């Protein structure tokens, strides 16, 4: 199934257009059905703020569906997985939970008395818990631009689509990157760095939820965390490909990266 679909143009404008597709059971708060063209809410995430403060507006606006999603995500994992996440947080900040991300997770956890930092971390391992999605990148002669499209076929899509928003990550008043986000998560699944590259994270199935969480405990990091660091720290398509290829991650994945012009290919 393809319960969610994202399409955007990766060229000079950096614009993102969102489409929804699917016919899956929804949580009570949502009534999305069929195919709809909608405008997602937009938020600026100010990277100059203290990490604990960056997601306060998002948490406030998505508080109820976020509480429902985190409760559902917790139901997917066995008790031993909770223990693994607890140990990861006790060791943080670390290579797999950088200090900046630790602060952001804490800030999100502080927005509700119905979940803890451990609960928020479990929700942030959405790919490791429920891998899904496929992408395509191509050159459009009609548009004269790279077109990078994807779906998000997660099994928990009914909850995730109640949490969607578009985010622009800003530093010193300038756009660093933008992407389609899920409230409560801080990593990147879909992103674009204007005039540089676009990114999508795609399923490569191998192993189980527990396998992936064990790898997190073996000095590997969440895929979405790596992707966000690449979008914030790398300035070119070539640098992004190199960085994504070199960091040990917790679960198998296919990265798809689009450049800002046609004719550039990378073998993996």
The residues carrying an active-site annotation are: 133
d(C-alpha 221, C-alpha 42), whole Å: 28
Comparing CA positions, the residue from 106, 192, 122, 189 lying closest to residue 151 is: 189
Comparing CA positions, the residue from 84, 64, 167 lying closest to residue 129 is: 84
| Number of neighbouring beta carbons within 10 Å of residue 228 | 24
| Number of neighbouring beta carbons within 10 Å of residue 218 | 9
3-state secondary structure of 138: strand
d(C-alpha 132, C-alpha 180), whole Å: 16
Cα angle vertex 191, ends 97, 198, to 5°? 120
Token pair recorded at residue 99: 């200090």
Q: Is the N-terminal amide bond of 93 cis, ω within 30° of 0? A: yes
């Amino acid at each position: 199934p393809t319960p969610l679909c994202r399409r955007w143009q990766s060229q000079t404008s950096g614009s993102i257009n969102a489409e929804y597709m699917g016919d899956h059971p929804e949580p009570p708060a949502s009534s999305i059905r069929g195919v709809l063209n909608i405008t997602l809410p937009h938020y600026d995430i100010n990277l100059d703020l203290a990490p604990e403060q960056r997601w306060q507006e998002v948490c406030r606006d998505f508080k109820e569906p976020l509480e429902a999603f985190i409760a559902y995500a917790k139901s997917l994992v066995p008790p031993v997985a909770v223990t693994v996440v607890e140990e990861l947080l006790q060791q943080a900040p670390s290579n797999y939970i950088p200090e900046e991300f630790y602060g952001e997770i804490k800030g999100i956890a502080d927005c509700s008395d119905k979940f803890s930092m451990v609960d928020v971390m479990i929700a942030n391992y959405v790919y490791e818990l429920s891998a899904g999605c496929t992408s395509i990148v191509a050159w459009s002669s009609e548009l004269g631009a790279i077109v990078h499209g994807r779906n998000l076929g997660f099994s928990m899509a009914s909850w995730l689509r109640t949490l969607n928003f578009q985010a622009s990550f800003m530093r010193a008043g300038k756009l660093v990157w933008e992407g389609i986000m899920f409230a409560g998560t801080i990593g990147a699944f879909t992103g674009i760095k204007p005039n540089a590259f676009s990114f999508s994270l795609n399923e490569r199935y191998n192993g189980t939820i527990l396998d992936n969480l064990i790898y997190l405990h073996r000095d590997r990091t969440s895929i979405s965390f790596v992707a966000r660091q690449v979008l914030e720290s790398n300035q070119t398509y070539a640098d992004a490909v190199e960085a994504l290829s070199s960091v040990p991650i917790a679960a198998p994945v296919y990265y798809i990266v689009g450049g800002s012009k046609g004719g550039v290919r990378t073998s993996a």
